[in-house]
């Protein structure tokens, strides 16, 4: 016999078994840690989409949503990594909701150099360098311009970096909202 929990997802009430509720809560918390702190609209859209998938998968509102249904929904929605990188304050700050702190022996994933999609003037090279070195992209642009103008750096070096450094992967949102 399993315990069940009634939860509100996307403004709809659902009954989930205890394992399914914990798994879904962890999944949503992981996504929430990857979205901007003030972005409640996207989180609401995600919850409404999950509610819609639950309605499609469960024939009766009286039926309990199991761990299998939650896992299938998570597979359909995509991994939390598809919603971006975790916020620095969420990843390094104090644990929320009483979850245990991350283990210290876990090694962080290596940083990768990409051309920026958001901080770009020409090709995103300076914006990408700024993100990689955690520096202001404007200062990097200024230093690059001065080096190009005064002969310390050739324009060809910038063009080679433009070709060699891959563009930052696009953020994927797989909400698949149906317009009715």
The CA-CA-CA angle for residues 90, 94, 100, to 5°, reads: 100
Q: Band of the pLDDT at 89, cuts 50, 70, 90?
A: low
Q: pLDDT tens digits, residue range 104-118?
A: 455 566 778 888 878
pLDDT (average), residues 149-153: 82
User: In the prediction, which pLDDT does 172 show?
Assistant: 62
Domains of the chain, by residue range, sit at 4-86, 110-175
Answer yes or no: are the C-beta atoms of 8 and 48 closer than 8 Å. Answer: no
User: In the prediction, which pLDDT does 179 show?
Assistant: 45
Nearest C-alpha neighbor of 51 from the set 3, 8, 5? 8
Neighbours of 9 (CB within 10 A): 20
Distance CA 51, CA 155 (A): 53
Percentage with pLDDT > 70 across the chain: 81
Look at residue 65 and tell me whether its pLDDT is greater than 50.
yes
């Amino acid at each position: 016999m399993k315990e069940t929990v009634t939860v509100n997802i996307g403004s709809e009430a659902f009954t989930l078994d205890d394992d399914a509720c914990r798994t879904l809560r962890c999944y949503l918390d992981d996504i929430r840690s990857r979205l901007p702190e003030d972005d409640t609209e996207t989180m609401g859209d995600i919850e409404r989409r999950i509610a819609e998938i639950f309605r499609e998968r469960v024939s009766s509102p009286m039926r309990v949503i199991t761990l299998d249904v939650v896992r299938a929904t998570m597979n359909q929605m995509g991994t939390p990594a598809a919603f971006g990188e975790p916020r620095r304050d969420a990843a390094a700050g104090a644990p929320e909701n009483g979850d245990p702190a991350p283990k210290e022996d876990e090694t962080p994933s290596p940083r990768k150099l990409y051309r920026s999609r958001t901080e770009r003037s020409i090709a995103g090279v300076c914006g990408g360098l700024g993100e990689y070195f955690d520096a202001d992209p404007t200062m990097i642009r200024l230093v690059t311009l001065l080096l190009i103008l005064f002969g310390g750096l050739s324009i060809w070096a910038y063009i080679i970096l433009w070709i060699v450094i891959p563009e930052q992967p696009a953020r994927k949102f797989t909400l698949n909202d149906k317009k009715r």
